[in-house]
Chains A and B, each alone.
Chain A
Amino acid sequence: MTASTFRTALGRARQRLAEDARSRNGRAIAVGTALALLAPLALTAYTLDIVMQLFIAILAVSSWIFIAGYFGMFTFAHAALYGIGAYAAVLLVGEAGVHPVASILLGGIVAGLFSLPIAYPVLRLTGAYVGMVTLAYAEIIYRGTILLRDVTGGPTGYTGFPYLFGGDSVVMYYFVLSLVGVLLLVMYVLLVNRFGLVARAIRESPDAARMLGNNVPRHKLMGFLIGSSIAGVAGALQAYSILIISPPMLEIERMIEFMAMGIIGGLRTLSGGIFGAVIVFGLSEVLRDYGEIRLVVWGGMLVIVTLFFPNGIADSDFGLRERFGGDVPIGDRIREVIGR
């Protein structure tokens, strides 16, 4: 990417951000961001910790939407890769003495590497097939972390890693907030530019996308890698915020939590992940003392939202529907923007 195309990409993102900021969801997110920035002034360390975990959940869900919503690759391996990122980061610190902040980014890279064995078969599959293959892969990673007890600590988990920033919860809070913000912006910039348009074209019709001259497998591979790596970063952040990692972190239940957030919020936009995470995370906090009732509620919500709100509760397309809907068929619009 040359400097001028990079500037064009940023320019388009800035223009879109300005439009989006005026939308209903955009205003809600702006207010939320302002509150998040000021939160340490009013909240106790305990509540701050909960808010921090909400941000981490937002990052994890958004990176899943990046793959599942935009490319239509309905991956079930996301929670497992999130867990891989966590294990990789803390093992690098605990066993190899890597600096903790660097380990978070390395955790993301390792998660990306672990996504490769599954990425190749996924490129050749569509729809429900992707779900099946990635689910089986996730199960194997989960069993692997239990079996490799010399490395991972087995079922009881791994604890030999330090606090970030000496346990200063306010510094930690701002670190998580800024890292989550930066990664959300990275995904946003990618998605409002050519990359995101090609992703949607692939979701709607891989054949048409290929005929427009796009390298479909390469795009899908990039999307899968980027999304999985960001999941790894989210996992690493989560490990540092709770200071223990154990196999339940990458269980299917965690995947279902991410999916519930994404689907309830809506898979068509990144903001769907933010709203979904707030709703489901909030509900989980409220229902914390009632154990499995929480899962009964999520299961029921998955059914009801899919049946009655196909595009999720935060059903706003950041104005995309006006741009792509109406009289202009989406294919023409995509061709126009891509310029082919």
Chain B
Amino acid sequence: MVSGGLLVQQVVNGLFFGGQLALIAVGLTLIWGVARVLNFAHGAMFMVGGFVGFYTLGATGSILLASVLAVIVVFVLGYVVEHSLLEPMRDREEFDIASMVVTLGLAIFLENAILVGVGSQRKSFPTFTDVIWNVAGVTISVQRLVIFLISLVALAALFLIITRTKLGLAIRAVSQDSDTALLMGVRPKRIYSITFGASAALAGLAGVLLAPMFSVYPSVGWYPFLLAFIVVMVGGLGSVRGTLVAALGLAIVRSISMIWIASETAMIVLFAIMVAVLIVNPDGIGGWLDG
């Protein structure tokens, strides 16, 4: 029999992990919703963010500076990639597959170029705090709590930008109907590039934040990318709200299932959930949430 304490502990762990997962998955769903690009380079953006963070932290010792710099660098990288690689193909009929292949090629290129450049050994981050709280029998790592809170702040900032600013209005307009948006004086091409940059920057931020736990190496992005994949499929591609719910829900399911099975096997549970959701409703749970 599983004790109640262990269950609560795993729910808390799952919640923290869900916040980080949401940070990665929301970027993936956002760029699909706005520009119909399935970004296979999302994991590579995560990895680049991790490396920028690693070197900045090594040089300055400031996690804040490392995060800001990673966000800026990855945003610029994402903007340039969209502008120079994806924009020229946008009018093609099979754009969704062509963009998938190009971003996949880019991911392999980036990952292995860095592998050739710096080698494959794992670079461990210094943890920024070792403090652990004990609240009513549940242990809470302060570092994980801080990462969770930063993730929430970043997601809230994104949500505010999308709902409250003129840029957000333009993004929503382009995602609804890019031709009409163009007639209203919005430049869809720029919006696509900015959205791609922002989506990549979220992955880059996640790369810095999670690096203290996972350490940094060239192929570090694949596993979080696959998890984020399953999350957006369950949440419904393009639905930010569905993705948030799915990220928290699946992360908690993953944590709880890890009471009985190994963490590698937990992926199979998530996959089974994904297939079940797809068979019942190919639009994912976002279809119900967004009405």
Interface residues of A (CB under 8 A from B): 72, 74, 117, 120-121, 124-125, 127-129, 131-133, 135-137, 139-140, 143-144, 146-147, 252, 256, 259, 263, 291-293, 295-296, 298-303, 306-307, 310
The interface residues of chain B, by DSSP majority, are classed as helix
Within 8 Å CB of A310, what residues of B? 92, 98
Task: Count A/B pairs, Cβ under 8 Å.
Answer: 114
Residue in A135, A293, A306 whose beta carbon sits within 8 Å of that of B101 in the complex: A306
| Interface residues as binary, B137-174 with A (CB distance below 8 Å gives 1, 0 otherwise) | 00000000000000000000000000000000000000
Contacts of B267 in A (CB 8 A): 139-140, 143
The residue from A133, A136, A147, A293 contacting B116, defined by CB atoms under 8 A apart: A293
CB of B106 within 8 Å of the partner chain? yes
Q: Is the CB of A259 within 8 A of B265?
A: no
What B residues does A299 contact at CB under 8 A? Answer: 105-112
Q: Give the number of residues in B that approach A within 8 Å (Cβ atoms).
A: 43
- List of A residues within 8 angstroms of B98 by Cβ: 306, 310
Given A132-B38, A133-B274, 20 other A-B contacts at CB below 8 A? A117-B275, A121-B275, A124-B282, A131-B38, A139-B226, A143-B264, A143-B268, A144-B268, A147-B264, A252-B222, A256-B108, A259-B101, A263-B101, A291-B116, A292-B116, A300-B105, A303-B85, A303-B109, A306-B89, A306-B102
Chain B residues contacting A307 (CB-CB under 8 Å) are 85, 88-89, 102
Q: Are B279 and A133 in contact (CB under 8 A)?
A: no
Chain A residues closer than 8 Å to B233, beta-carbon distance: 129, 132-133, 136
CB-based contact A292/B115 at 8 Å:
yes
- Judged by a CB distance under 8 angstroms, whether B202 is at the interface is no
The interface residues of chain A lying within 8 Å CB-to-CB of B108 are 256, 295-296, 298-299, 302
Chain B residues with CB below 8 A from A117, complex form: 275
**Which B residues are CB-close (under 8 A) to A259?**
101, 104
Nearest Cβ distance between residue B110 and chain A, in whole angstroms?
A: 8
Q: List 24 A-B contacts (CB under 8 A).
A: A72-B97, A74-B100, A120-B279, A121-B278, A124-B278, A124-B279, A131-B38, A132-B38, A132-B232, A143-B264, A144-B268, A146-B264, A256-B104, A292-B112, A293-B112, A295-B108, A296-B116, A299-B111, A300-B105, A302-B108, A303-B105, A306-B101, A306-B105, A307-B102
